[in-house]
């Protein structure tokens, strides 16, 4: 099989997943966007968290041209992609999320997006559960299939989806590999980042529109590489300085 054919198969698989997410998650996307708009309108702050490769989608909505300036990254040292095996190990450690939340700026009335493909590890489950106990609204982005095909690694026996105000299902199959080949011993070509990022950007767009409908200017950032972009961003950062933490 030619490399071109494999590439086309991956694109086809990703497009199919994106179409499913668009059609099947439309209500959840609208609800998540409304939740973020409600939070912004009420003076709350927005945060996103993800471990491992799930952190890529979380980072994609933070300090992003065309995105909401109020979206802050809730960072957990050691669980980013560059930490490799260490990050995978830390994601299974009970109690880590509580320590992070205790030292974070999260407070009641804020909103937190938790991204975890499997939704089974201790860290994202505990992060969502503890955040809600603090009065924080939680949006979970996960593959619901894992809950029926794998076991939880959290002491509660629950999954991320069980501790969210809104759940976005990425539709990714267990194992996150879209292609197989007789000559390749393992499945390959993951699409979770493509779909998860698309879902979150759809939520951000929905939130911006919902704010505009209420007569509230969405606190959006512009590209610093277009004329006037830096001045625009400086105005937004100053206006919302009490709700933006990555600029400090």
Tell me the pLDDT tens digit for each residue of 97-120.
888 899 999 999 999 999 999 999
Place 82 in a pLDDT band, splitting at 50, 70 and 90. Answer: low
Report the alpha-carbon distance of residue 59 to residue 54 in Å, rounded.
9
Report the alpha-carbon distance of residue 199 to residue 193 in Å, rounded.
10
Per-residue confidence (pLDDT) for residue 19, from 0 to 100: 98
Place 248 in a pLDDT band, splitting at 50, 70 and 90. Answer: low
Q: What is the pLDDT of residues 10-63, one digit of tens each?
A: 999 999 999 999 999 999 999 999 999 999 999 999 999 998 889 999 999 999
User: Judging by DSSP bridges, how do beta strands 137-142 and 166-169 pair with one another?
Assistant: parallel
Question: Buried b / exposed e across 89-103, counting CB within 10 Å, b at 16+?
Answer: ebbebeebbeebbee
Query: Full-prediction pTM beyond 0.95?
Result: no
Reply yes or no on whether the pLDDT at 123 is more than 80: yes
Q: What is the pLDDT of residues 222-242, one digit of tens each?
A: 999 999 999 999 999 999 999
Report the alpha-carbon distance of residue 165 to residue 10 in Å, rounded.
32
Per-residue confidence (pLDDT) for residue 83, from 0 to 100: 65
Report the alpha-carbon distance of residue 40 to residue 171 in Å, rounded.
29
Mean predicted confidence (pLDDT) in 162-179: 97
Per-residue confidence (pLDDT) for residue 76, from 0 to 100: 82
- φ and ψ of 173, to 5 deg: -70, 150
Do the beta carbons of residue 123 and residue 91 sit within 8 Å?
yes
């Amino acid at each position: 099989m030619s490399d071109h054919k494999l590439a086309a198969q991956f694109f086809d698989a990703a497009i199919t997943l994106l179409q499913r997410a668009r059609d099947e998650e439309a209500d959840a996307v609208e609800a998540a966007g409304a939740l973020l708009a409600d939070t912004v309108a009420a003076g709350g702050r927005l945060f996103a968290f993800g471990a491992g490769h799930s952190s890529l989608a979380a980072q994609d909505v933070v300090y992003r041209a065309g995105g909401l300036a109020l979206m802050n990254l809730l960072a957990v040292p050691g669980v980013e992609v560059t930490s490799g095996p260490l990050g995978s190990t830390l994601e299974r450690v009970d109690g880590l999320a509580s320590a992070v939340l205790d030292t974070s700026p999260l407070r009641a009335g804020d909103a937190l997006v938790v991204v975890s493909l499997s939704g089974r590890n201790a860290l994202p489950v505990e992060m969502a559960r503890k955040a809600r106990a603090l009065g924080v609204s939680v949006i979970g982005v996960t593959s619901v299939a894992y809950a029926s095909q794998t076991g939880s690694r959290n002491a509660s026996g629950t999954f991320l989806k069980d501790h969210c105000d809104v759940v976005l299902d990425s539709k990714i199959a267990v194992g996150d590999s879209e292609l197989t080949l007789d000559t390749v011993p393992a499945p390959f070509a993951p699409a979770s980042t493509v779909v998860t990022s698309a879902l979150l950007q759809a939520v951000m767009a929905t939130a911006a529109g919902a704010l505009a409908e209420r007569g509230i200017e969405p606190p959006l950032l512009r590209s610093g590489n277009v004329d006037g972009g830096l001045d625009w961003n400086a105005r937004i950062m100053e206006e919302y300085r009490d709700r933006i933490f990555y600029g400090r």
